[in-house]
């Protein structure tokens, strides 16, 4: 049987060489034949000795052909056990035939593998398959369940914070803790609490749809007051932390018509100011460090008014040349007597919504990226009550505010500049001390400047300075009322991994009244923030 198989292979080889000689099969080019031999060796069809021998003979034949040598011709078979005459021996011819068969088999296997891969890819893309999309650090984990994308992202932080007062006298509406007279230590959240954000997305009838649920727990005990989970904490045994459910909203739209939003989310006015604030990832000014709330103040009230998370129906246009326009109607908020002592009027009646709008311009080119923005806020405050307002006066005011800002990045450097001015808006929070006890609007303004530089690929240094001013109303004379809150902050951020950053920070804060009272404090913080 072995002898019969041998002569069958010889007969096939002779036929193949005859076809080569007749021109039906063109000899392979050197590179092609070399690639073929490499493939057969890799597949185990040729031993190293066979590979080296065939390659050497083939290269010799190529050199002879280039020199004008005649092509080998097959003469005949010499007897039953004879060899093939000519330049190629019977074993060479047999090996060549085997190589051709192996190449054909390999090509067929490749086609079958390609078809299997396409089939598998089609199966994976099926709506019945649940798969995890490629992970991007800081963007959360996304699971694609048919037509629905499910993204879970979030962050956790914790800081040791030591606050030391400079001393001084209390300032009504002031933010510094300098007049407390006591040092304080705490392990607390920074300006951000922790966060767990669930986002569901899909595409239906040409529209992109999304639903977002944002849950923001703190790590310190909650003591819910006027500011809910953001009220001062309660550092006593058996306490529990608070949950700030800030975000519950849906969006509908696409790149052609823009996006409509309905639900609770960050407002437009002041949003870029806080999102670009470096203390968002650290502590900044503490507010109350002895009984920490869900968050610190960061630079809130020391350069901008807190944007807040407000129920709204808003619209954002498509971007055209980097320009986008947004506008929204929102739940109106009360005027608040934050300073206490009856210094400011309050309100709780609203027949019309708050209206906010914003224009942004995003730029990228020549190594520079940045954003310029401007926004406004308008709200009619009705039924104001205060010590200087008659019960039947039905006093009302129109609160108004505007802001401009810019953020620029160039290589390792980044800069932010921001300014706001308002009437009836107040300071620190929306409508905090915006109207005096007689129902007259107080003007306010503020700004901050911030610069950062990556001194190393993982190490960034940041410095900022900010001021919030509150002016007295015409005819008002109240020496206790805050005139200015200001602070300087310096921080270092080190990216330990894609997820976690280590933070060290120093902040100096001051509060100054319209009279002689003033105080200040110093805060040193160290900790870490993790995003996933």
Instruction: Tell me the range of 37-41, 43-47, 54-58, 189-193 where mean pLDDT is highest.
Output: 189-193
Give the tens place of pLDDT for each residue, 414-465.
Answer: 999 999 999 999 999 999 999 999 999 999 999 999 999 999 999 999 999 9
Mean pLDDT over the full length of the chain: 86
pLDDT value of residue 42: 65
HEC profile for 263-321? EEEECCCCHHHHHCCHHHHCCEECCCCCCCCCCCCECECCCECCCCEEEEEEEECCCEC
Overall average pLDDT of the 174-203 stretch: 95
Q: Which domains does the chain have, with CATH numbers?
A: 2-124 (no CATH), 155-190+262-531 (2.40.160.10)
For residue 406, name the pLDDT band (cuts at 50, 70, 90): very high
* 90/74 Cα distance (integer angstroms): 10
- CB atoms near residue 247 (< 10 Å): 19
Q: Could you report the per-residue pLDDT of 90-133, keeping only the tens digit for each? A: 566 666 666 677 667 767 777 776 776 676 666 655 667 789 99
pLDDT category at 84 given cuts 50, 70, 90 is very low
Q: Quote the percentage of the chain above a pLDDT of 70.
A: 81
Look up residue 212 and give its two tokens.
């977002």
Question: What are the structure tokens assigned to 333, written together?
Answer: 């908020």
Q: Residue 223: what pLDDT? A: 85
Contact call for residues 266 and 248 (beta carbons, < 8 A): no
pLDDT digits (tens, 9 = 90+) for 224-234: 877 887 788 78
Q: What is the pLDDT, as a whole number, of residue 56?
A: 75
How confident is the model at residue 14, as a pLDDT? 40
**Residue keyed to tokens 């088999």:** 105
Instruction: Please indicate whether residue 498 or residue 79 has the higher confidence score (pLDDT).
Output: 498
| Helix and strand counts by DSSP (H, E) for the chain | 5, 19
* Confidence check: pLDDT of 318 > 90: yes
pLDDT of residue 95: 63
């Amino acid at each position: 049987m072995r002898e019969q198989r041998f002569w069958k292979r010889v007969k096939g080889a002779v036929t193949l060489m005859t076809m080569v000689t007749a021109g039906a099969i063109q000899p392979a080019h050197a590179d092609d034949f070399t690639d073929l031999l490499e493939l057969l060796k890799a597949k185990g069809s040729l031993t190293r000795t066979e590979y080296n021998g065939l390659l050497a003979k083939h290269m010799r034949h190529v050199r002879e052909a280039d020199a004008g040598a005649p092509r080998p011709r097959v003469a005949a078979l010499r007897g039953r056990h004879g060899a093939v005459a000519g330049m190629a021996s019977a074993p060479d011819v047999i090996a060549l035939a085997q190589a051709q068969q192996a190449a054909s088999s390999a090509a067929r296997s490749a086609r079958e593998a390609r078809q299997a891969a396409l089939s598998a890819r089609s199966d994976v893309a099926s709506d019945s398959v649940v798969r995890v999309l490629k992970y991007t650090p800081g963007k959360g984990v996304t699971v694609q369940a048919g037509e629905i994308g499910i993204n879970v992202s979030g962050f956790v932080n914790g800081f040791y914070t030591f606050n030391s007062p400079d001393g001084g006298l209390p300032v009504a509406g002031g933010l510094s803790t300098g007049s407390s007279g006591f040092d304080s230590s705490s392990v607390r959240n920074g300006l951000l609490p922790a966060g767990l954000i669930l986002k569901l997305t899909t595409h239906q009838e040409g529209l992109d749809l999304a639903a977002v649920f944002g849950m923001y727990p703190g790590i310190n005990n909650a003591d819910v007051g006027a500011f809910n989970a953001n009220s001062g904490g309660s550092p006593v045994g058996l306490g529990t932390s608070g949950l700030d459910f800030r975000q519950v909203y849906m969006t509908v739209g696409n790149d052609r018509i823009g996006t409509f939003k309905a639900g609770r989310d960050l407002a437009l006015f002041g949003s870029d100011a806080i999102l670009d604030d470096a203390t968002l990832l650290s502590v900044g000014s503490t507010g109350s460090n002895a009984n920490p709330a869900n968050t610190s103040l960061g630079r809130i009230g020391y350069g901008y008014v807190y944007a807040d998370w407000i129920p709204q129906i808003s619209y954002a246009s498509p971007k055209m040349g980097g320009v986008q326009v947004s506008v929204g109607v929102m739940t109106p908020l009360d005027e608040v007597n934050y300073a206490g002592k009856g210094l400011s009027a309050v309100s709780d009646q609203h027949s019309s919504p708050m209206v906010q709008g914003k224009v942004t311009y995003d730029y990228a080119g020549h190594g520079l990226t940045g954003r310029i923005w401007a926004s406004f806020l308008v709200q009619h405050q009705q039924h104001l009550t205060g010590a200087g307002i008659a019960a039947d006066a039905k006093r009302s005011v129109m609160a108004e505010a505007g802001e401009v800002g810019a953020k620029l990045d160039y290589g390792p450097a980044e800069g932010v500049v921001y300014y706001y001015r308002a009437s009836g808006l107040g300071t620190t929070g929306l409508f905090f001390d915006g109207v005096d006890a007689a129902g007259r609007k107080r003007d306010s303004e503020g700004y901050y400047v911030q610069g950062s530089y990556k001194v190393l690929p993982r190490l960034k240094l940041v410095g900022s300075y900010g001021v919030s001013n509150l002016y007295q109303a015409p005819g008002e004379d109240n020496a206790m009322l805050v005139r200015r809150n200001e602070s300087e902050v310096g921080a270092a951020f080190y990216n330990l991994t894609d997820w976690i950053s280590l933070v060290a920070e120093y902040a100096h804060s001051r509060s100054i009244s319209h009279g002689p009272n003033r105080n200040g404090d110093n805060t040193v913080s160290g900790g870490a923030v993790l995003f996933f």
